């Protein structure tokens, strides 16, 4: 009864208020209609999230970088931020940490090392149970956003007798792969059995080639180990370890070897010069090696100084250059020809200086030094001339422990340093045809089956992370680090140097191919670059391989094909997704010259035994008369000699001359007769005839 009474009373009060002031309409000047209403407090709301609800193909490293940012309509109280959830189909999953922006209007969820699973739907939920705004009002309503990560990449695991590969190089002409590998290739009298392995572009074994065999017998290789590997411009492969440098031809034959610091090349243990940790080949074919020696910056190979070694294309020593206490990686700038060497500075034998990257000229002189992150261990140079350095050691900051990537941005011969966050301990770096930067990382985490590959944009932003779902990727072992390389089809290849783990890698796979995850290389060809003015646009002809790819073409920076006479710089760039390629050329539009117009003149004179005609052929046209030949010369019934006579190419406005003689049978002096002359040129003929009186 009490509830009914209260309800009736409320209704009566509402009706009474509505009825006041003549049917609820307030009169001017009357206070009866000025009703005081209670203010409704709705609380803060979520304005936006950095990921769209229902998004698909989201990169698996979203929580690693850049994170998920949620923005609120007003400043919040971070101390009340407790009730939030991050769920996958298996239950709750929490990122490692989150941070607020300066005015507490946005929160970003991060993870220091946990990558999401492939092809999985995730939901982030923020409940309003305890989350309050700065003014104490609760979140108006719970918020959630769901998304699905990218599907797993296709990964081919390759064994084929590969056991512990470290160095990896791709022959760009054939697509074949070369590996510096610890294989089951026995060397009599030695417990070490290193070999060079060659594979087809699809990973099929071509052959295992013994590393240090020679005509004098087997070398003592007890003191050698893993090796860097590079291909030269002729398709030959160079590899090195403990001072021994070996060259193999494309058929796998060892055609050259050189002992870095000894006059006795038959024993690798006498090949002084420290361990070459990186090699590169310059456009002249010279081989450059970074020697991580004993920490003494010098040029004494025999006593193991840390240095840079230069060899000729045949392996002959050219120079030894002082370059840092712990050189670790080396690359050649194709633009300037300068040599770039990373210097860890501190290490097993390194000095106590700061890590850096050094620029050397072709004479081996250090011309500049730039700081890097700790442990610069890999280097690559992009097509714009920017230098990329992967820093192996960790940096500890407010975001935890992580490694970094340093970019030296080229600008007129000087470089500006930029540093980008990366995952964990990158051991190798490569750049695809679009300029994206790929890193092979050595430290796993978060239950990921192996160590991920991370992809950065040309400006250093994190793009994605990849790892195998059908094998174990371990880029490092006691023998050395793995290598990442990218072929022209966009396949990413990684060596599995520490793959020997029967529990996690039962297939004992030594090489992995991530199919098509990088940009493919497209070939662009320009043609029809010389055209005549017609009053209409005259575009260049552009073809691509593969055919039919979308291409952006500019002429002196404009996308409109030119019409006017002149020369235009043509740049054709592939825009088709997943492909990269470009070509440049010059389009020339000119006035079409007038056609060939040959005019023949001549003069006749008497000579001993007959007559002589001095012939002149003039080209009054605007086009050249190529391959002009005098083939006809008659004086009456007499035939002149010598025929035929070549007059060469007669340019527009030019002329050529010839001398033709006729016998006395042409007639007696004073006789009236006809002189006929004629010939050919490429694309036409010419002739003339006139009456003459024999002199």
- Per-residue pLDDT tens digits for 290-311: 988 777 888 877 777 888 989 8
Inside any domain, residue 400 = no
Tokens matching residue 33: 């209609």
Residues 608 and 683 in one domain: yes
* Residue 500: exposure state from Cβ atoms within 10 A (0-12, 13-18, ≥19): middle
Residues 57 and 133 in one domain: yes
Render pLDDT for 560-616 as a digit per residue (tens, 0 to 9).
999 999 999 999 999 998 899 999 999 999 988 889 999 999 999 999 999 999 999
- Domain housing 562: 522-590
Mean pLDDT calculated for residue range 521-544: 94
What letter would DSSP give residue 131?
Answer: -
> What's the CA gap between 630 and 635, in Å, rounded?
15
The reported pLDDT for the residue numbered 420 is 87
The reported pLDDT for the residue numbered 248 is 85
- Picking from 18-32, 95-109, 455-469, which range would have the lowest pLDDT averaged per residue? 18-32
The reported pLDDT for the residue numbered 539 is 97
The reported pLDDT for the residue numbered 275 is 65
Please report which confidence band the pLDDT of residue 316 belongs to, taking 50, 70 and 90 as the band edges.
Answer: confident
Inside any domain, residue 441 = no
Inside any domain, residue 165 = no
The reported pLDDT for the residue numbered 154 is 94
> What's the CA gap between 10 and 18, in Å, rounded?
12
Chosen domain end from 129, 149, 169: 149
Please report which confidence band the pLDDT of residue 233 belongs to, taking 50, 70 and 90 as the band edges.
Answer: confident
Which tops the pLDDT comparison, 118 or 19?
A: 118
Name the domain count of the chain.
Answer: 3
CA atoms 367, 370, 374, 380: torsion sign: negative
Residues 562 and 637 in one domain: no
Highest mean pLDDT: which of 204-213, 254-263, 490-499, 526-535? 526-535
> What's the CA gap between 271 and 263, in Å, rounded?
8
Render pLDDT for 429-473 as a digit per residue (tens, 0 to 9).
999 999 999 999 886 433 444 568 999 999 998 888 898 888 778
Residues 688 and 614 in one domain: yes
CATH of the domain at 101: 2.60.40.3780
Please report which confidence band the pLDDT of residue 66 belongs to, taking 50, 70 and 90 as the band edges.
Answer: confident
What is the maximum alpha-carbon separation in the chain? Answer: 156
Q: What percent of the chain has pLDDT over 90?
A: 47
- Over 90: is that where the pLDDT of 94 sits? no
CATH of the domain at 633: 2.60.40.10
Under 8 Å between Cβ of 314 and 365: no
HSE value, Cβ hemisphere, 13 Å, CA-based, for 33: 10
Residues 622 and 677 in one domain: yes
CATH of the domain at 544: 2.60.40
Tokens matching residue 186: 């026995």
What letter would DSSP give residue 104?
Answer: S
SS3 24: helix
Mean pLDDT calculated for residue range 188-201: 68
> What's the CA gap between 516 and 154, in Å, rounded?
8
Question: Does 553 sit behind a cis peptide bond, omega within 30 degrees of 0 on the bond before it?
Answer: no
Residue among 93, 166, 65 at smallest CA distance from 446: 93
Question: Does 312 sit behind a cis peptide bond, omega within 30 degrees of 0 on the bond before it?
Answer: no
SS3 334: coil
Under 8 Å between Cβ of 635 and 673: yes
Residue among 240, 313, 322, 242 at smallest CA distance from 279: 240
Inside any domain, residue 207 = no
Tokens matching residue 55: 């998004």
Question: Does 330 sit behind a cis peptide bond, omega within 30 degrees of 0 on the bond before it?
Answer: no
Inside any domain, residue 498 = no
The reported pLDDT for the residue numbered 479 is 56
CA-derived radius of gyration, the chain: 40
CA dist list (Å): 605 to 76, 588, 687: 113, 49, 21
Residue 18: phi, psi to the nearest 5? -65, -30
Residues 93 and 139 in one domain: yes
Strands 582-590 and 530-532 turn out to be parallel
Mean pLDDT calculated for residue range 663-673: 94
Residue among 278, 281, 355 at smallest CA distance from 314: 281
Inside any domain, residue 326 = no
Residues 560 and 609 in one domain: no
Tokens matching residue 185: 């290739």
Residues 585 and 675 in one domain: no
* Residue 188: exposure state from Cβ atoms within 10 A (0-12, 13-18, ≥19): exposed
Residue among 360, 354, 357, 284 at smallest CA distance from 322: 360
The reported pLDDT for the residue numbered 421 is 76
> What's the CA gap between 135 and 332, in Å, rounded?
60
The string of DSSP codes covering 168-232 is EEE-TTT--EEEEEE-S---TT-S--EEEEEE-TTS-EEEEEESS-BTTB----TT-----EEE-
Mean pLDDT of the chain, nearest integer: 81
Render pLDDT for 384-427 as a digit per residue (tens, 0 to 9).
899 999 998 887 766 567 788 999 999 888 899 998 876 678 88
Please report which confidence band the pLDDT of residue 86 belongs to, taking 50, 70 and 90 as the band edges.
Answer: confident
Inside any domain, residue 454 = no
Which tops the pLDDT comparison, 516 or 192?
A: 516
* Residue 39: exposure state from Cβ atoms within 10 A (0-12, 13-18, ≥19): exposed
Mean pLDDT calculated for residue range 494-505: 63
DSSP bridge partners of 91: 88
Residues 133 and 63 in one domain: yes
- Over 60: is that where the pLDDT of 40 sits? no
Residues 547 and 613 in one domain: no
The reported pLDDT for the residue numbered 372 is 92
Residue among 103, 108, 109 at smallest CA distance from 133: 103
> What's the CA gap between 383 and 620, in Å, rounded?
50
Other Cβ atoms less than 10 A from the Cβ of 419: the count is: 16
Chosen domain end from 149, 178, 195: 149
> What's the CA gap between 569 and 556, in Å, rounded?
5
The reported pLDDT for the residue numbered 501 is 54
Q: Tell whether pTM > 0.85.
A: no
Under 8 Å between Cβ of 245 and 238: yes
Under 8 Å between Cβ of 587 and 570: yes
Q: What percent of the chain has pLDDT over 70?
A: 80
Residues 674 and 622 in one domain: yes
Highest mean pLDDT: which of 92-96, 143-147, 502-506? 143-147
Residue among 41, 123, 110 at smallest CA distance from 74: 41
* Residue 494: exposure state from Cβ atoms within 10 A (0-12, 13-18, ≥19): buried
Chosen domain end from 563, 590, 617: 590
- The residue written with tokens 């990727």 in the block is 473
Inside any domain, residue 548 = yes
- The residue written with tokens 């070398």 in the block is 219
Residues 104 and 55 in one domain: yes
SS3 380: strand
Residues 65, 68, 71, CA angle at the centre, nearest 5°?
135
CA atoms 411, 413, 414, 415: torsion sign: positive
Which tops the pLDDT comparison, 268 or 411?
A: 411
- Over 90: is that where the pLDDT of 24 sits? no
């Amino acid at each position: 009864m009490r509830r009914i009474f209260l309800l009736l009373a409320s209704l009566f009060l509402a009706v009474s208020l509505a009825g006041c002031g003549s049917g609820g309409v307030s009169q001017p000047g009357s206070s009866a209609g000025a009703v005081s209403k209670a203010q409704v407090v709705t609380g803060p709301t979520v304005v936006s999230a950095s990921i769209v609800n229902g998004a698909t193909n989201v990169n698996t490293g979203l929580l690693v970088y850049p994170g998920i940012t949620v923005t609120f309509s007003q400043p919040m109280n971070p101390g009340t931020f407790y009730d939030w959830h991050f769920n996958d189909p298996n239950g709750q999953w929490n990122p490692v940490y989150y941070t607020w922006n300066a005015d507490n209007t946005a929160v970003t969820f991060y993870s220091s090392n946990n990558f999401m699973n492939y092809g999985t739907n995730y939901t982030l939920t923020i409940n309003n149970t305890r989350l309050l705004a700065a003014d104490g009002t609760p979140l108006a309503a719970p918020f959630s956003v769901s998304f699905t990560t990218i599907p797993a990449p296709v990964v081919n695991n390759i064994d084929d007798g590969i056991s512990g590969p470290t160095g990896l190089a791709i022959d760009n002409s054939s697509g074949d792969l070369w590996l510096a590998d610890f294989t089951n290739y026995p060397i009599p009298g030695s417990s070490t059995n290193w070999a060079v392995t060659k594979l087809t572009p699809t990973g099929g074994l071509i052959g295992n080639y013994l590393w240090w065999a020679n005509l004098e017998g087997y070398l003592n290789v007890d003191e050698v180990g893993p090796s860097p590997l590079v291909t030269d411009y002729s398709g030959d492969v160079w590899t090195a370890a403990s001072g021994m440098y070996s060259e193999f031809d494309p058929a796998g034959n060892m055609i050259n070897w050189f002992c870095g610091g000894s006059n006795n090349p038959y024993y690798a243990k006498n090949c002084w010069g420290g361990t070459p940790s990186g090699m590169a080949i310059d456009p002249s074919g010279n081989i450059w090696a970074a020697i991580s020696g004993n920490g003494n910056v010098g040029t004494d190979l025999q006593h193991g100084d840390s240095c840079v070694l230069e060899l000729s294309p045949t392996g002959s020593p050219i120079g030894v250059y002082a370059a840092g206490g712990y050189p670790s990686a080396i690359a050649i700038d194709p633009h300037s020809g300068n040599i770039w060497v990373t210097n860890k500075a501190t290490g097993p034998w390194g000095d106590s200086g700061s890590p850096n990257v050094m620029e050397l000229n072709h004479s081996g002189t250090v011309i500049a030094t730039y700081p890097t992150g700790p442990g610069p261990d890999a280097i690559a140079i992009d097509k714009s001339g920017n230098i990329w350095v992967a820093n192996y050691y960790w940096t500890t900051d407010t975001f935890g422990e992580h490694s970094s990537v340093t970019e030296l941005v080229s600008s007129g011969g000087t470089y500006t340093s930029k540093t980008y966050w990366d995952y964990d301990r990158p051991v190798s770096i490569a750049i695809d045809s679009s300029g994206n930067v790929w890193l092979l990382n050595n430290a796993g985490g978060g239950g990921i089956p192996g160590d991920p590959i991370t992809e950065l944009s040309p400006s250093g932003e994190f793009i994605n992370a990849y790892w195998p779902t059908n094998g174990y990727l371990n880029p490092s072992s006691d023998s050395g680090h793995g290598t990442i390389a990218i072929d022209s089809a966009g396949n990413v290849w990684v060596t599995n140097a520490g793959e020997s783990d029967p529990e996690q890698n039962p297939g004992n796979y030594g090489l992995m191919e991530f199919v098509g995850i990088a940009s493919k290389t497209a070939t662009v060809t320009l043609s029809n670059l010389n055209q005549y003015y017609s009053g209409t646009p005259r575009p260049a002809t552009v073809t691509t391989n593969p055919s039919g790819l979308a291409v952006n073409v500019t002429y002196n920076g404009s996308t409109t094909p030119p019409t006017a006479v002149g020369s235009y710089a043509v740049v054709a760039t592939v825009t088709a997704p997943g492909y990269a390629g470009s070509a440049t050329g010059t389009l020339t539009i000119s006035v079409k010259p007038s056609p060939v117009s040959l005019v023949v003149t001549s003069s006749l004179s008497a000579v001993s035994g007959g007559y002589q005609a001095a012939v002149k052929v003039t080209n009054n046209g605007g086009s050249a008369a190529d391959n002009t030949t005098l083939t006809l010369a008659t004086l009456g019934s007499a035939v002149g000699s010598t025929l035929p006579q070549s007059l060469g190419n007669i340019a527009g406005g030019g002329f050529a001359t010839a001398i033709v003689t006729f016998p006395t049978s042409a007639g007696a002096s004073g006789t009236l007769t006809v002189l006929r002359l004629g010939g050919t040129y490429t694309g036409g003929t010419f002739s003339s005839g006139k009456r003459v009186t024999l002199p």
